[in-house]
Amino acid sequence: MQTTQPSPNPAAAKTAEQFAGGVRERVGKIVVGQDVVVERVMIALLTGGHLLLQGLPGLAKTLLVNAVAKAIHLDFKRVQFTVDMLPSDIIGSEIIDQKSGDFRIHRGPVFTNLLLADEINRAAPKVQGAMLEAMQERKVTIGGQNLKLPTPFLVIATQNPVEQSGTFELPEAQLDRFMLLHRLGYPGRDDEQMILQRQLGMGLRREDGGAVPRSAFDMIEDNPGASVEDLVTAMEAVQAVHVSEVIVKHCVELVRRTRESKLLDFGCSPRAGLALVNASRARAVIHGRDFVTPEDLFDLAEDVVLHRIRVSYEASAAGHTGKQVLEGILGTLG
């Protein structure tokens, strides 16, 4: 294993910015009106963290992740989580080869660079546990054999905030493993209009003598705009982003205040602070900076912090929401 030491490298930073810009541009051609989500995906990619997207169906989550994977020449797999799934459906299992009579390892969909775990809250806790363990360890054990997952390995999970019956809400400890939880909203009016207009002009795709209407998936270009090496270079650039002491201090302060707040049952773990700083570094690179600003912190705070805190019963009864509490804390930071 090679360890990359962070060292400021303007050329690398420039390449990283171009890489991020290139990917955003490519994804932007396919997905309309989800710039922030694209940015969050990029942050997750650049930091090696995992991303949980919470949003209603039909918000182009799969398309987005697919487009990102194709843009960077990453191996991409999607798993639709259901209640009857078993851990082996995710991580794989040892199966007997009927031809040879030997056991061989069947690798599950987790062996990929980019995994879209669709509706993760539909699976039973043991499946979620297996998945989240793989995310944390970046390796799985099948038949007593430890198998490393490919690098990079990024999980983008989604969960649907409606239709909660028959779902297993992810416990806080497991939510904590997601670096970011981004809540997807509907696209704006203009964006939505553009989505429809694009679809109208797509026409048909002819294949096997028949035809099917073209979808946005058909617009995803096969030739990737960036390679994994480019991604690694960008990741190196992220590691070299300067974080001033003031930022670190305020970051710690933010995390501590969530713990001290009387409106919260519990606050953030130190992992939240780490995630916030790392994500801010990635955001800085995406925005062409080689240093983190408070703006990065403010922008990412909701996605990093909100799923790691729980509003107390009394505060909830008094009408406080997690977002309000966080805004309050952020307001007092400056």
Partner 1 sequence: MNAALLLTVCVLAAVAPAHAQQPAALDAKVLKQYESILTHKFSRELTDIFSALEKAERTDPASQTASDRFFYLFRTGDWAKVRAELGVMPPELARKVYDKMLGDLTEKQKPNVRLDDVLGLADAVPGELTGDNLRKLGQLLSLAVPANESYWIADRLAKGTAKLGGSDPAKRLLAGRVLLAGGFKELARTYLPSLAQVEQLADEGLRNELTAFLASQQETEATQRAQVQKIWDENLRILTLTKVNDWEKTKAGAALARVMMQIPPGTLGPVFADMVKSQPESAVRLVSGFGRKLQSEIRGEPAVRTENLKAQTSVATMLGENADLRAQPWNQLAQMMAEHWLVEAENTFTQKTSPSSSKPKLVAPEDLLANAPSGKWSAALPASLRERLDVGLSKIILASANFDSAAERIVEIGKRSPGAGVALAEDFLTVWAQTHNPTLSEAMRRKYSLPDDARIPVTPIMMEKNIQSLARMMALFRQAGIAPKDYQKVVAAFDLAYSNAEAYRTTHIEKVFGPLAKMDEQLFFLILSRMHANLTERWRKMDVQKAGLTRRNETQTLEMVRAGYAGALQMIDDWLTGHAEGSRALTLGGTLLMDWGDFEYFQELVSGDAKKRMVGYKEKNLQAQDYFQRGTAAYAKEVAKLAPAEHSIDAHLGWFHGLIGIGSGGQLNLSKAMNRAALTKIRESLLALPGKAAQVHLTLFAKTVNARLADERDPLHEDLKYRYLASALVITKDNPFTLGAEKKVGYFDELLSELRLQTRVDGPNTVGRDQEFGLIVSLVHTEAMGRVGQFGQYLSNDPGAGPGKARRKSPFARKMREAQGPRDEFELSLMESLTPFFDVKSITFASTDVKPRATAQPGWEETVLAYLLVRPKDASVDKVPPVELELKFVDLTGPVTIPAQSAETVIKVAANAPPRPAQKVEVTQTLDTRQFGINGALVLEVKATATGLVPELNELLDLAALAKAVGIRQTNAHEGLQVKEINTWGDRVAPRTERLWTLSLNGDVIRAAEGPVDFHFPLPKTTDVVAVYQTYKDMDLATLPQPTVRLGRTVAAAAGGVVLKPARNPYLWPGVGAGAALLVVGLIYLLVRRSADDSEKPLRARDVFKMPADVDGFAVVALLRRLHASPLATLREPQRQELQQDLQRVQQTCFGSNGSKMTEADLRGVAEKWLRAAC
- Within 73-132, the residues that bind partner 1 by CB under 8 A are 99-102
* CA distances for 287 relative to 44, 61, 154, 171, angstroms: 15, 23, 21, 33
In contact, 47 and 234? CB cutoff 8 Å: no
DSSP states along 246-292: HHHHHHHHHHHHHHH-TTEEE---HHHHHHHHHHHHHHHHHTT-SB-
Classify the C-alpha dihedral 196-200-202-205 as positive or negative: positive
Residue closer to partner 1 by CB (options 24, 307) is 24
User: Min. distance of Cβ 178 from partner 1 in angstroms?
Assistant: 26
Does position 256 interact with partner 1 (CB under 8 A)? The reply is no
- Within 299-328, the residues that bind partner 1 by CB under 8 A are none
Q: Which of 94, 190, 192, 229 binds partner 1 (CB under 8 A)?
A: 190
User: Min. distance of Cβ 1 from partner 1 in angstroms?
Assistant: 10
**How far apart are the C-alpha atoms of 175 and 184, rounded to whole Å?**
17
Q: Which of 138, 298, 312, 316 binds partner 1 (CB under 8 A)?
A: 298
Residue closer to partner 1 by CB (options 144, 166) is 144
Q: x-or-dash pattern for partner 1, window 218-247, by CB under 8 A?
A: -----x-x----------------x-x-xx
Does position 291 interact with partner 1 (CB under 8 A)? The reply is yes
Helix (H, G, I), strand (E, B) or coil at 228: helix
**How far apart are the C-alpha atoms of 233 and 225, rounded to whole Å?**
14
Residue closer to partner 1 by CB (options 114, 241) is 241
Q: How far apart are the first and last CA of the chain?
A: 41
Place of tokens 């194709």: 70
Cis peptide before 152 (omega within 30 of 0): yes
Q: Which of 290, 306, 309, 311 binds partner 1 (CB under 8 A)?
A: 290
Binding piece for partner 1, criterion CB under 8 A, among 47-55, 124-132, 189-197, 301-309: 189-197
- Which residues make up the interface to partner 1 (CB under 8 A)? 8, 25, 99-102, 190, 194, 197-198, 201, 223, 225, 242, 244, 246-247, 249-250, 289-295, 298, 333-334
